[in-house]
């Protein structure tokens, strides 16, 4: 397989905007990305016998990305995860965001970064296959203050390795919390099977319990002796139907933020590992972020059909979303998500695939 970075048309949005697709091919890995949502559409890696398979959910055409947004593979912003009642204060000013998740704001609102067309700012294969998407989010978009210029760079930085690097700047004080929202199934998405046998390890001694609206209560709770203890590795499905745990019942499974032991860092450090016993595929995640949202695909409800003509059902995929904590603007005890003019937001995550 030759190393390459190519672009081609992907489709036209309802407003007439043209969307491009980019394919990056590296050693033991290839990824297809689209400008709409700056999203990963497909990601191919080998199993223990060298057979390539696509390990992320996605749609076959642009129309579904535009009309049935489930965040599949998308860049999430301005604020990943939830903000209670879509409100927070900044410098004494009350900011009201669009609420699209019950009474709360989720993933930047209905017109967040996942539902915007990004431009290709750079593309090449020297020294590695990479593409950089950019967009300018104007002051007041979805209620957020300040004009934010954001970029996300996808690069195949080593054999079997995808690095995602986010950056952002603002012209006024604001909040920023970006992540990628890929839905993974390491057995391959061509013939979907539940990920309940996938074995997850998370380097976190604590997680954030949530209320009925999936907003953190403010407690930082130890995972010791709970269904949330993945420190030594366990299958997703071991406790996912544990109705005795009110946190599992509230989220219909796992949809919680873990407090990573590294606590945030300048360079990416180990956060999590997932192993599929059937295919032998292994994914390791290294990140600079202090938190990791673990989501077991609880709200995939068979209402959409993916790339290979199959309905996407509950627990058909998992998400590992490196980020700052949910509702941080309303929780001064959580790591700050404030971005000032003249400063630069940076977040880098590395996904390493082996067998």
Q: What's residue 242's pLDDT? A: 82
pLDDT at site 334: 98
Contacts of 134 (CB under 8 A, 6+ apart): 118, 119, 121, 149, 150, 151
Look at the block and give the residue holding tokens 């690097």: 165
8 A C-beta contact, residue 47 and residue 11: no
Cβ proximity of 274 and 254 under 8 Å? no
pLDDT at 69: 87
pLDDT at 1: 59
Q: Provide the 8-state DSSP code for 63.
A: H
- Cβ atoms of 320 and 272 within 8 Å: the answer is yes
Q: What are the pLDDT tens digits along the chain (355 aa)?
A: 579 999 999 999 999 999 999 999 999 999 999 999 999 999 999 999 999 999 999 999 999 999 998 999 999 999 999 999 999 999 999 999 999 999 999 999 999 999 999 999 999 999 999 999 999 999 999 999 999 999 999 999 999 999 999 999 999 999 999 999 999 999 999 999 999 999 999 999 999 999 999 999 999 999 999 999 999 999 999 999 888 899 999 899 999 999 999 999 999 999 999 999 999 999 999 999 999 999 999 999 999 899 999 999 999 999 999 999 999 999 999 999 999 999 999 999 999 999 9
> Which residues participate in catalysis according to the annotation?
181, 321
218's enclosing H/E stretch is: none
Give residue limits of the domains in the chain.
4-196+273-354
Three-state secondary structure call for residue 243: coil
State the Cα–Cα distance between residues 71 and 101, nearest whole angstrom: 14
What local confidence, expressed as pLDDT, does residue 54 receive? 98
Q: How far is 312 from 314, CA to CA, in rounded Å? A: 7
Whole-number Å distance between alpha carbons of 170 and 148:
4
Question: Could you tell me the maximum CA-CA distance found in the chain, to the nearest angstrom?
Answer: 59
Asked whether the whole model's pTM tops 0.85, one would answer yes
Overall CATH class of domain 4-196+273-354: mainly beta
Q: Is the dihedral of CA 298, 334, 78, 213 positive or negative?
A: positive
Q: Is 128 exposed, middle or buried (0-12, 13-18, 19+ CB in 10 A)?
A: middle
């Amino acid at each position: 397989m030759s190393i390459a970075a190519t672009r081609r048309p992907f489709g036209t949005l309802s407003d007439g905007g043209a969307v491009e697709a980019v394919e990056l091919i590296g050693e033991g890995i290839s990824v297809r990305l689209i400008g709409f949502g700056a999203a990963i559409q497909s990601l191919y890696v080998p199993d223990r016998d060298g057979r390539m398979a696509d390990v992320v959910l996605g749609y076959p055409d642009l129309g579904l990305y535009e009309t049935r947004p489930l965040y599949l593979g998308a860049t999430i912003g301005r604020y990943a995860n939830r903000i209670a009642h879509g409100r927070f204060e900044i410098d004494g000013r009350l900011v009201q965001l669009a609420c699209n998740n019950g009474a709360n704001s989720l993933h930047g609102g209905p017109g967040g970064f996942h539902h915007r067309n990004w431009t290709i700012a750079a593309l090449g294969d020297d020294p590695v296959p990479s593409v950089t998407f950019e967009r300018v989010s104007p002051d007041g978009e979805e209620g957020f203050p300040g004009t934010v210029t954001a970029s996300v760079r996808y690069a195949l930085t080593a054999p079997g390795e995808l690095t995602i690097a986010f950056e952002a700047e603002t012209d006024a004080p604001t909040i920023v919390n970006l992540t990628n929202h890929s839905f993974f199934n390491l057995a391959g998405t061509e013939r979907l099977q539940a990920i309940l046998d996938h074995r997850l390890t998370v380097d976190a001694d604590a997680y954030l319990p949530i209320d009925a609206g999936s907003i953190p209560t403010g407690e930082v709770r130890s995972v010791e002796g709970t269904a949330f203890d993945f420190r030594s590795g366990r299958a997703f499905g071991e406790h996912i139907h544990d109705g005795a745990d009110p946190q599992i019942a509230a989220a219909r499974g796992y949809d919680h933020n873990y407090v990573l032991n590294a606590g945030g860092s300048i360079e990416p450090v180990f956060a999590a590992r997932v192993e599929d016993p059937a295919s032998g595929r292994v994914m390791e995640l290294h990140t600079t972020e202090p938190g990791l949202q673990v989501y077991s695909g609880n709200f995939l409800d068979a209402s959409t059909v993916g790339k290979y003509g199959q309905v996407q059902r509950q627990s058909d995929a998992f998400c590992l979303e490196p980020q700052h904590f949910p509702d941080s603007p309303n929780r001064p005890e959580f790591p700050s998500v404030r971005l000032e003019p003249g400063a630069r937001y940076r977040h880098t995550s590395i996904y390493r695939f082996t067998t």
